C-alpha cells in the first residue's frame, strides 16, 4: 500500500497547473484531497470529476492573501476528513518586469501571494500538526529561489523567502512535522498570464519553449509525501533536461 493512501492533503492554487496536477495524482493514489483557489467554478468541476472516478475530494474558495480564508480551508478539511496530513502551499503569481518599470502594485501582489500565502498556510496548519504530532508542509518555490535574472528580481526574492521560511520551519518543528521545498524549473502553467510587462512576456515565451508538464512536479510532490515518516525530503529541484538555468 502506498504511503499516500488515506492521507488528507490540502492544496492551494489547485484550479490549474501544478496544483491541479497534484490533486489528480494524489487522489488517484488514494489520498483525500481538499482543494483551494479563487476560481471556485474550476475547483468544483475538478472535484466532481475526481468523485465520479470514485476518489475523495472537496473544495473551497480561497484567497491565500487572506489569513482567515486559509484557516477556513484547513478547518473545512478537518471537518470533512478528520485531520490534515499534508499542506501543499502552491499558490503563486509571477508578473515579471524590470525594477525600473516601477510596477509596485505587482511587487506587492507577489509578496502577498508568494510569501504571505505560504506563511498563512503554516499559521493555519502548524498548530494542528503539532497537536496531531504528525504532518508535512510542501512549499512550492522555484529555480528562482536559487538564482536571479533580469525582470525577476522581486519574484526571485519571494522564492528565496520561501526557501528561508521553509528551512527555518524545518529546524524548529523537530521530528513530528516534515518540511519539503520543491523548486520547479520552467513548467507548463498559467503563471505567465500574470505578466503585464512586454519584456517579461518575451523572456518567458523563450523559457517556455522547453517547459515540462505540471505532472512532473506532481510526481515530485508524491515522492516527498510517500516517504516514511522518519524521512524528510528537504529540497527537490525539478527542471527540463535541456534547461541552462
The confidence band for 200, taking pLDDT boundaries of 50, 70 and 90, is low
49, 51, 57, 60: CA torsion to nearest 10: 60
Rounded Cα distance between 35 and 32, Å, is 10
Rounded Cα distance between 91 and 37, Å, is 8
Rounded Cα distance between 159 and 14, Å, is 19
138, 144, 146, 147: CA torsion to nearest 10: 180
pTM of the model: 0.93
- Which residue reads 503563471 in cell numbers? 191
CA quadruple 167, 239, 95, 47: dihedral positive or negative?
negative
**Quick check: helix, strand or coil at residue 86?**
strand
Give tens-digit pLDDT for 223-245.
999 999 999 999 999 999 988 77
Give tens-digit pLDDT for 131-151.
999 999 999 999 999 999 999
Which residues belong to the active site?
155
| Radius of gyration, CA atoms only, the chain | 17
Q: What average pLDDT does the segment 179-196 reach?
A: 78
Largest Cα–Cα distance in the chain? 54
Asked if residue 118 lies in contact with residue 110, where contact means CB atoms within 8 angstroms, the answer is: no
Cα 45 versus chain centre, distance = 20
Give tens-digit pLDDT for 34-79.
999 999 999 999 999 999 999 999 999 999 999 999 999 999 999 9
Question: What is the average pLDDT score of the chain?
Answer: 93
Asked if residue 35 lies in contact with residue 55, where contact means CB atoms within 8 angstroms, the answer is: no
Q: What is the pLDDT of residue 202?
A: 59
Amino acid at each position: 500500500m502506498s504511503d499516500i493512501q488515506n492521507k488528507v492533503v490540502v492544496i492551494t492554487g489547485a484550479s490549474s497547473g501544478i496544483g491541479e496536477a497534484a490533486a489528480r495524482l494524489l487522489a488517484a493514489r488514494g489520498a483525500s484531497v481538499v482543494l483551494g483557489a479563487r476560481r471556485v467554478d474550476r475547483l468544483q468541476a475538478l472535484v466532481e470529476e475526481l468523485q465520479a472516478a470514485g476518489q475523495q475530494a472537496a473544495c473551497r474558495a480561497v484567497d491565500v492573501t487572506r489569513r482567515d480564508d486559509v484557516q477556513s480551508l484547513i478547518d473545512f478539511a478537518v471537518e470533512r476528513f478528520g485531520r490534515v496530513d499534508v499542506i501543499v502551499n502552491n499558490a503563486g503569481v509571477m508578473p515579471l518586469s524590470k525594477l525600473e518599470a516601477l510596477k509596485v502594485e505587482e511587487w506587492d501582489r507577489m509578496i502577498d501571494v508568494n510569501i504571505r500565502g505560504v506563511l498563512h498556510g503554516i499559521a493555519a496548519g502548524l498548530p494542528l500538526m503539532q497537536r496531531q504530532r504528525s504532518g508535512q508542509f510542501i512549499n512550492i518555490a522555484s529555480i528562482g529561489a536559487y538564482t536571479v535574472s533580469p525582470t525577476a528580481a522581486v519574484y526571485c526574492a519571494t522564492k528565496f523567502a520561501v526557501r528561508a521560511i521553509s528551512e527555518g520551519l524545518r529546524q524548529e518543528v523537530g521530528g513530528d512535522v516534515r518540511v519539503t521545498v520543491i523548486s520547479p524549473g520552467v513548467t507548463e502553467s498559467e503563471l505567465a498570464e500574470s505578466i503585464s510587462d512586454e519584456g517579461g512576456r518575451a523572456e518567458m515565451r523563450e523559457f517556455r519553449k522547453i517547459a515540462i508538464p505540471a505532472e512532473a512536479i506532481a510526481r515530485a510532490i508524491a515522492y516527498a509525501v510517500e516517504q516514511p515518516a522518519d524521512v524528510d525530503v528537504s529540497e527537490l529541484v525539478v527542471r527540463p533536461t535541456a534547461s541552462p538555468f
